[in-house]
Amino acid sequence: MHTKITGAEILVESLKKEGVKYIFGYPGGVVLNIFDVLYEHKDLHLILTRHEQGAVHAADGFARASGKTGVALVTSGPGATNTVTGIATASMDSIPMVVFSGQVPTMLIGNDAFQEADIVGITRPCTKYNFLVKDVNDLSRIIKEAFYIASTGRPGPVLIDLPKDVTVGKADFVWPELEMRSYKPTYEGNKWMISQAAQLMAKSKKPVIIAGGGVIISGAAKELKELAEHTDIPVTMTLMGLGGFPGSHKLSLGMLGMHGTYYANKAVQDSDLIIAVGMRFDDRVTGKVDAFAPHAKIVHIDIDPTSIKKNVRVDVPVVGDVKRVLTVMNKVLKEEIKEQWDEVRKAWLKQIDAWRAERPMSYTHSEEIIKPQFVVEKIYELTKGDAIITTEVGQNQMWTAQFYKFDKPRTLLTSGGLGTMGYGFPAAIGAQFAHPEKLVIDVAGDGSIQMNIQELATAVINKLPVKVAILNNRFLGMVRQWQELFFDERYSHTKLNDVVPDFVKIAEAYGAVGLRATKPSEVEPVLKEAFRIKKTVFMDFIVDWKEKVYPMVPAGAPIDQMLFEQEKKPEKKLKAVK
């Protein structure tokens, strides 16, 4: 005979079954009883953030850094609606996450009760799936399904809405077997399609691999490296793919797209074969779609069939898990196909090297004023790449992607799809929980750090040695850059100049450490000092506000029509599309 336990206790037991250690959350009226069960719990730690958005981003950062499913718990109404940005961020980047929201009792749902919000309705388009639990007897099954859905196939966030009477109600705790007839992701790629792809790779003269976030999610970095090295095919990465292939490898072309390298974009545009691996041809990658890689056949490997042929034509589609598909592909290439590409590949790589020499990734260094790229370069130099880097969104994000060489998967956590300012700092907090021993650095801007700056309290209270490098240009830099280039330097509401707070004092007010560098010569000492201190540190780098992210492809242009640093302005006035 089982003793019946409450829904709140079932929730906790279920989370333990799922191996959850940390929940990022914020209490409130209808989840009081759940928080009561968590009070001083031995195995399950509730990490109190200072905003629900922070909680969800922290769960997201934890998930990206660890590969495990992140968990957040919030109250109903405003608590739930505050999670939406975080959920949408995770959804766009395929991050496994389960968010629990409190809800008013079932009999009050629809009555416009105090702190009621239809969060299931609100999050339907930005979750992979969501549940409203109506009966405590369904709770454990729903939790099990939620974790399964979140972490399998193309991962994504799942929300479970918990009415008060469900968590108060009692039931037997049963951990059920999974049975889902309507959800069966495809993992094994079609063998014939894989052979077709391998044949094309062997025969092509100018192939390029484009690696995306799917490489990292499926843990296929090793298989990808094997593929590239065996076939001598250069690899470029999307923002989400950085770290999926070593950035310092000779076959690496760095990032492609709007702020990609000249040689990556040139190679893609000139290629006769693109092997797209776990990426989805976002508009920031393709530029003008009609003019994208005009001579290339496209092999597209992705676990999500809807990603294939959504934006670009595809010649060989392979639906499946990237790791499994690449494993088979490597086998086919090594066992069934004669190596015949030696000569042609030499010519292709030589051409790419010429492009690399023509326009390498660069910026103009200054002895007087700190260039933001210099800070990122120094971070790379001092950490030797052995750190977890998070970013906010905007120039800070692009400079990080351009000037830090990510050699390993799960070392760059950034909001690629949704482009969420305020993501990086809470994500760094989540990442630090996943890897307490690692150096975690958020590269931020003075604009975006202010979007979740309250999480300083979370970092300090939990004694997290998270470092935040603020590239402080007193502007919303990326928007300002567009205004300079496309809007006649009319800096409409992007100038933060007069009201940028003293970040050193803010850090100190929260009990963290604040450091500042105003000259290039101070950058290295400040970074070294920050890395030495085992505390939360804000570094305020006063950088050149005029600095822009180059190269740049204007929105809506083909990706080989790039603007460079030397050409201060486009000759013809280019029209910005978005």
Q: Name the residues that contact another protein, by CB under 8 A.
A: 120-121, 124-125, 128-129, 132, 149, 180-183, 304-306, 309-310
Q: Between residues 33 and 186, which has the closer beta carbon with respect to another protein? A: 186
Count of C-beta atoms within a 10 Å radius of residue 108: 16
Give me 219's structure tokens.
């843990």
DSSP code, position 46? E
Q: What DSSP letter does each residue of 56-84 carry, written as one string?
A: HHHHHHHHHHHSSPEEEEE-STHHHHTTH
- Closer to another protein by Cβ: residue 306 or 521: 306
266 is catalytic: no
**Contact 539/517 with Cβ under 8 angstroms?**
yes
**Nearer to another protein by C-beta: 128 or 345?**
128
Half-sphere exposure (Cβ direction) of 492: Cα atoms closer than 13 Å: 6
CA distance linking residue 120 with residue 80, whole number of Å: 10
Q: Minimal distance in Å, beta carbon 460 to another protein?
A: 40
| Residue placing its CB nearer to another protein in the complex, 309 or 575 | 309
Smallest separation, CB 157 to another protein (Å): 13
Helix, strand or coil for residue 557? coil
Select which of 201, 258, 329, 478 is catalytic.
478
Catalytic-role residue among 164, 206, 378, 467: 164
Choose, from 18, 52, 223, 377, the residue flagged as catalytic: 52
Minimal distance, residue 129 CB to another protein, in Å:
5
- Between CA 162 and CA 201 the distance in angstroms is 51
Q: How far is the CB of 85 from another protein (least distance, A)?
A: 17
Q: Which residue has the tokens 């009319």?
A: 490
Taking the C-alpha atoms of residue 326 and residue 210, their distance in angstroms, rounded to an integer, is 13
Q: Kindly tell me which of 121 and 501 has the beta carbon lying closer to another protein.
A: 121
Measured in whole angstroms, how far is the alpha carbon of residue 542 from the centre of its chain? Answer: 26
Cα 535 to Cα 532: distance, rounded to the nearest angstrom: 9
To another protein, the closest distance from the beta carbon of 178 in angstroms equals: 13
Q: Give the count of alpha carbons within 13 A of 352, CB side only.
A: 29
For another protein, the closer of residues 118 and 484 by Cβ is: 118
- Work out whether the CA dihedral 388, 268, 419, 302 comes out positive or negative: negative
159 or 553: CB nearest another protein: 159
Residue 181 or 534 having the CB closest to another protein: 181
Alpha-carbon torsion (122, 128, 133, 134), positive or negative: positive
Separation between Cα atoms, residue 262 and residue 266, nearest integer Å: 6
Please give the order of strands across the beta sheet that includes 97-103. 45-48, 22-25, 70-74, 97-103, 157-163, 129-132
What is the smallest separation between the CB atom of 345 and another protein, expressed in angstroms?
A: 34
Q: Taking the complex as a whole, how short is the minimal distance between the CB of residue 125 and another protein, in angstroms? A: 5
164 annotated active-site: yes
166 CB contacts (<8 Å, ≥6 apart)?
Answer: 7, 106, 133, 134, 135, 136, 139
Nearer to another protein, 124 or 365 (CB): 124
Q: Are 419 and 259 in contact (CB under 8 A)?
A: no
Q: Which residues contact 444 (CB under 8 A, 6 or more apart)?
A: 391, 392, 396, 424, 425, 468, 469, 470, 471
Which residue has 């060489």 as its token pair? Answer: 405
Whole-angstrom Cα distance, residue 429 to residue 431?
A: 5
Burial state string for 560-573 with b = 16 or more CB within 10 A and e = fewer than 16: bbbbeeeeeeeeee
Active site residue 250: no
CA distance 129 to 141: 14
Nearer to another protein, 226 or 283 (CB): 283
Residue 279 CB, nearest distance to another protein (Å)?
Answer: 17
- Catalytic position from the list 4, 16, 114, 336: 114
Minimal distance, residue 89 CB to another protein, in Å: 17
For residue 448, the minimal CB distance to another protein (Å) is 27
Residue 114 catalytic? Answer: yes
Catalytic residues: 52, 114-115, 164, 478
